[in-house]
Amino acid sequence: MCISCGCNKPHDKHGNPAHITIDELEKAAKAANMSKEEAAKNIAESVGLKCGK
């Protein structure tokens, strides 16, 4: 999904540069030497969501 809105279109910004895409998540994960899954988990935990096992 444009991962910030949940539309199930992970690469689509819907004409709005403020939306976060999977491409940006992948770039951020690569910059931190981690998987996109770990980066997503860290983001979720940073906003107070419980993730993982």
Q: Going by C-beta distance under 8 Å and a sequence separation of 6 or more, which residues neighbour residue 10?
A: 1, 2, 3, 21, 22, 23
Could you tell me if 29 and 38 are in contact, meaning their C-beta atoms sit under 8 angstroms apart?
yes
- 14 closest CA partner among 3, 26, 25: 3
Mean pLDDT of 41-50: 86
Q: Which residue has better confidence, 30 or 47?
A: 30
pTM: 0.78
The rounded distance, in Å, linking the Cα atoms of 7 and 21 is: 11
- % of the chain surpassing 70 pLDDT: 92
Mean pLDDT of 38-48: 90
Q: Is residue 35 over pLDDT 70?
A: yes
Mean pLDDT of 11-18: 89
- In the 8-state DSSP scheme, what is residue 21? -
Max Cα distance, the chain (Å): 36
Can you give the residue ranges of every domain in the chain?
22-48
Mean pLDDT of 15-20: 90
